[in-house]
A and B are shown apart, each in its own frame.
Chain A
Amino acid sequence: NAGVTQTPKFQVLKTGQSMTLQCAQDMNHEYMSWYRQDPGMGLRLIHYSVGAGITDQGEVPNGYNVSRSTTEDFPLRLLSAAPSQTSVYFCASSFSAYNSPLHFGNGTRLTVT
Chain B
Amino acid sequence: KNEVEQSPQNLTAQEGEFITINCSYSVGISALHWLQQHPGGGIVSLFMLSSGKKKHGRLIATINIQEKHSSLHITASHPRDSAVYICARHTRMNRDDKIIFGKGTRLHILP
Contact = CB atoms under 8 A, between A and B. Distances in A.
Contact of A101 (B33, B50, B92, B95): B33
Chain B at the A interface: SS class: strand
Interface residues of B, number: 27
Interface string B78-111: 0000000010101010011111111110000000
Give the interface SS of chain A, mostly helix, strand, loop or mixed.
Answer: strand
A104 to B, nearest CB: 4
Contacts, number: 70
Given A42-B86, A43-B101, A58-B98, A98 B92 contact: yes
A56 B50 contact: no
A31 interface: yes
Interface stretch (A17-25, A44-52, A62-70, A74-82): A44-52
Interface of B: 2, 30-31, 33, 35, 41-45, 47-48, 50, 86, 88, 90, 92, 95-104
